[in-house]
């Protein structure tokens, strides 16, 4: 009989236990500041791009439709005066005529609104497509994504690309068009309101005071007061919205990690630990949401009260002239309509504040993401061997005349003529330790790995072997020195857990090339050679192969990829750890037979791997944490022994 820990009841939604984060995010935090200049620098490139020309044409059309809607509203305001005058005069023929006129106004309004919405959404998607393509390229080019992840330069880049760019494109367009619409509406209706409101005369201390166009001034004062109060109350929501998006993304990432590692969690019976971790992350969401609720409540109190008062405010202000019989009912309704248009135009900030908060939070997150990309690219570009590891392109494999030479030197070891090789000179690697310290690992000699050589890299766990591989791959920026690679070399790395992209086995075999880059017969042949016959008939079946295949099958899939792509330099980072010794020997035998000219560099701990190599590079960690590196030739299929001391 098994027992289960009960799932705790959901706690009551009380949020008072956490300090007010708005006190922190509204002081000097960049997330709460409006960065219009930086945001414009982010948005401008689309409008000057090739696709931006079509975007400008669409934008011009949307603006024209917006202006048409303003014209329809002017038409409707004038209609109000005539219609209500007909009601006041009990003029039935005029009443029927104005109903027909209203049908025409409504028809035009509906048609224009439909096309405005349609073309606005089209422009939003074009802009978002361009932004997404641009940021994906910048994130992937130069392996910025890898360096950002290693440096923890920013959180949740997936959310910033998928969600924040969408918000940035759609809200930028919606808010800017709304602002333009408000300006045009104000210009159109302020003259109408000025002319129909007349003058207000009152006595102050026996002195008559006349205010011409007084309804305009009341509209301005009302809108300014409402906008100021809305901004004052709603400003903390900017930073809170930023934090909410961040915490939501952290929670989604934790859920995704659980899904990806479901088998490991199940084997460890780690459900309760995972539940506690997920609920803790969700608790962060709840805490921040509580403060969002409080500040949103205040904002709604202001905005809803502002909107409700605006319904009767113009009638109250214009009532003295109406009851003095200076205004007809139609004139009163025209004033009310014009006042509403002017007040609405001046209240753009009040009406759009929630959208502005969301837009600014998304904008700041995208700006932070862009800054992280630029910083990592700048560090990579400035790597000169003294500050960062410099990666250069050396002598091509073909050795053509006039080809660029390696900066490590035109002569290889011992004064022999230079040959195409992956070479390292003055390499010092910054290796992170489990204690979150940085340990430097120095390669005390120039190393050249030539085609046809078989290198075995050994050493204690955590000594820096995998970091050495990453440096030779040109993706480890931390340290100093130079890594030189042949300009046209095909280099393939097989890690312990090989990456299998979403798609078919054919996609996985051909990665990073397209699945149609190789003949189907070649795909079937390498699968058969690597003992994956069961996948031959499933080459075009879409599945999550990283969870469908066992670790051993995934490693054999990686060997099949190597046989298919025939690299010039093949790096194996414990790529046979999930294979039995007989299968491991079969895989290495295939590499030796089918890729005799390829350089093979393996990280391994098993002694059975030694017989497939003729050279070694041994990492040792001495007492006190000092690291040493040595090389030599392997003899009698024996693993290199650790250094004494």
pLDDT at 349 over 70: yes
So what's the pLDDT on residue 432? 63
Query: DSSP readout, 242-306?
Result: HHHHHHHHHHHHHHHHHHHTHHHHHHHT-HHHHHHHHHHHHHHHHHHHHHHHHHHHHHHHHHHHH
Tens digit of pLDDT for each residue in 471-520?
Answer: 887 778 788 888 888 877 888 999 888 888 888 999 999 988 888 889 99
The secondary structure of 454-488 as a DSSP string is EEEEE-STTSSHHHHHHHHHT---SEEEEEEEETT
Using the predicted structure, report yes or no on whether residue 586 has a pLDDT greater than 50. yes
Closest CA to 94 of 77, 109, 111, 81: 81
Q: Among 437, 458, 504, 382, which Cα is nearest to 632's?
A: 458
Strands 421-432 and 479-486: antiparallel
- Among residues 571, 619, 621, the alpha carbon closest in space to that of 591 is found at 571
Q: What is the pLDDT of residue 641?
A: 58
Is the pLDDT at 384 greater than 70? The verdict is no
Least confident segment among 370-374, 461-465, 577-581: 461-465
Which domains does the chain show, CATH number per domain?
A: 32-202+209-380 (1.20.1560.10), 388-409+416-633 (3.40.50.300)
Q: What confidence score (pLDDT) does residue 623 get?
A: 56
Residue 2's pLDDT is 40
CB neighbourhood size of 342 (10 A): 28
Tens digits of residue pLDDT in 101-129? 999 999 999 999 999 999 999 999 999 99
pLDDT one-digit tens code per residue, 420-478: 788 888 888 877 655 556 677 777 778 888 989 999 998 887 777 888 888 887 778 78
Confidence (pLDDT) at 392: 80
Residue written as token pair 């085609």: 451
> Which comes out higher in pLDDT, residue 545 or 268?
545
Residue 398 pLDDT class (50, 70, 90 cuts): low
pLDDT tens digits, one per residue of 278-326: 999 999 999 999 998 988 888 888 888 887 887 788 888 788 777 878 7
Give the pLDDT confidence of 289-300 residue by residue, as tens digits.
999 898 888 888
Distances from the Cα of 620 to the Cα of 185, 462, 645, angstroms: 76, 10, 10
Q: Average pLDDT of the chain? A: 81
- Whether cis (ω within 30° of 0) applies to the bond prior to 114 is no
pLDDT at 376: 83
The model's pLDDT over 609-627, given as tens digits with 9 standing for 90+, comes to 999 999 988 887 665 555 6
Q: Decide if pLDDT at 60 tops 90.
A: yes
Q: Which residue has the higher pLDDT, 45 or 377?
A: 45
Angle 608-614-619 from CA coordinates, rounded to 5°: 75
Q: pTM of this prediction?
A: 0.70
| pLDDT surpassing 50 at residue 523 | yes
> Comparing C-alpha atoms, which of 524, 464, 539 is closest to residue 472?
464
Average pLDDT, integer, range 141-151: 82
What are 222's two structure tokens?
A: 């009302």
Indicate the pLDDT class of residue 589, thresholds 50, 70 and 90: very high
pLDDT at 454: 93
* Alpha carbons within 13 A on the beta-carbon side of 632: 15
Q: Residues 216-269: pLDDT tens digits?
A: 888 888 888 888 888 888 888 878 887 888 898 889 888 988 887 776 788 778
Residue 11 has what pLDDT?
A: 43
What pLDDT score was predicted for residue 58? 94
**Residues paired with residue 620 on neighbouring β-strands, in sequence order:** 628
Query: What are the φ and ψ backbone dihedral angles of 115, each rounded to 5 degrees?
Result: -70, -35
Q: Which residues in 379-410 are b (16+ Cβ under 10 Å) and which e?
A: ebeebebeebbbbbbbbebeeeeebeebebee
Contact status, residue 380 vs residue 182, Cβ threshold 8 Å: no
Residue 181's pLDDT is: 87
Query: pLDDT band for position 30 (50/70/90)?
Result: very low
Within its chain, how far is the Cα of 620 from the centroid? 41
Instruction: Quickly count helices (H) and strands (E) in the chain.
Output: 19, 13
């Amino acid at each position: 009989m098994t027992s289960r820990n009960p799932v705790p009841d959901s706690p009551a939604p009380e949020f008072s236990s956490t300090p007010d984060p708005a006190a922190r995010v509204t002081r000097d935090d960049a997330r709460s500041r409006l960065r219009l200049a930086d945001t414009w620098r982010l948005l401008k490139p689309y409008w000057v791009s090739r696709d931006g020309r079509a975007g400008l044409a669409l934008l011009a059309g949307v603006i024209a439709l917006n202006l048409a809607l303003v014209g329809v509203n002017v038409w409707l305001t004038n209609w109000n005066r005539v219609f209500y005058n007909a009601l006041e005069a009990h003029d039935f023929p005029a009443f029927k005529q104005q109903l027909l006129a209203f049908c025409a106004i409504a028809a035009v309004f509906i048609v224009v609104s439909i096309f405005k919405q349609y073309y606005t959404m089209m422009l939003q998607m074009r802009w978002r497509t361009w932004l997404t393509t641009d940021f994906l390229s910048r994130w992937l080019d130069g392996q910025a994504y890898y360096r950002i992840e290693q440096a923890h330069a920013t959180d949740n880049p997936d959310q910033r690309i998928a969600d924040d760019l969408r918000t940035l494109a759609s809200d930028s367009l919606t808010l800017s068009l709304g602002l333009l619409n408000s300006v045009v509406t104000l210009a159109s209706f302020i003259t109408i309101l000025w002319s129909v409101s007349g003058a207000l005369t009152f006595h102050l201390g026996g002195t008559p005071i006349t205010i011409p166009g007084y309804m305009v001034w009341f509209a301005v004062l009302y809108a300014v007061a409402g906008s100021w109060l809305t901004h004052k109350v709603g400003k903390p929501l900017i930073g809170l919205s930023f934090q909410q998006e961040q915490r939501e993304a952290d929670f989604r990432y934790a859920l995704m990690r659980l899904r990806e590692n479901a088998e490991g969690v199940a084997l460890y019976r780690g459900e309760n630990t995972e539940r506690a971790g997920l609920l803790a992350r969700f608790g962060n969401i709840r805490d921040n949401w509580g403060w969002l609720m409080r500040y949103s409540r205040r904002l709604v109190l202001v905005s809803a009260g502002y909107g409700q008062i605006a319904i009767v405010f113009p009638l109250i202000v214009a009532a003295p002239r109406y009851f003095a019989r200076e205004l007809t009912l139609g004139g009163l309704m025209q004033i009310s309509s014009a006042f509403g248009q002017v007040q609405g135009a001046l209240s753009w900030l009040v009406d759009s504040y929630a959208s502005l908060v969301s837009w600014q939070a998304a904008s700041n997150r995208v700006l932070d993401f862009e800054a992280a990309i630029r910083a990592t690219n700048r560090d990579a570009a400035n790597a000169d061997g003294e500050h960062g590891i410099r990666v250069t392109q050396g002598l091509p494999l073909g050795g053509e005349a006039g080809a660029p030479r390696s900066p490590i030197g035109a002569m290889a070891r011992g004064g022999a003529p230079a040959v195409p090789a992956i070479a390292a000179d003055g390499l010092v690697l910054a290796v992170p330790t489990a204690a979150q310290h940085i340990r430097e690992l120095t390669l005390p000699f120039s190393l050249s790995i030539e085609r046809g050589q078989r290198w075995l890299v050994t050493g204690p766990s955590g000594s820096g072997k995998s970091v050495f591989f990453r440096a030779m791959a040109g993706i480890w920026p931390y340290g100093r020195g130079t890594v030189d690679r042949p300009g046209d070399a095909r280099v393939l790395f097989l890690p312990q857990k090989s990456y299998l992209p979403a798609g078919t086995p054919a996609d996985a075999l051909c990665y990073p090339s397209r699945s149609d880059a190789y003949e189907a017969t070649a795909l079937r042949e390498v699968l058969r050679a690597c003992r994956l016959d069961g996948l031959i008939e499933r080459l075009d079946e879409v599945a999550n192969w990283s969870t469908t295949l066992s670790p051993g099958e995934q490693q054999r899939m990686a060997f099949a990829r190597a046989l298919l792509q025939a690299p010039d330099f093949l790096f194996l980072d414990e790529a046979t750890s999930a294979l039995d010794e007989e299968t491991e020997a079969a895989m290495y035998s295939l590499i030796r037979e089918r890729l005799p000219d390829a350089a093979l560099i393996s990280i391994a701990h098993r002694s059975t791997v030694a017989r497939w190599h003729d050279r070694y590079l041994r990492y040792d960690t001495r007492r006190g944490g000092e690291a040493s590196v040595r090389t030599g030739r392997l003899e009698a299929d024996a693993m290199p022994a650790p250094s004494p001391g």
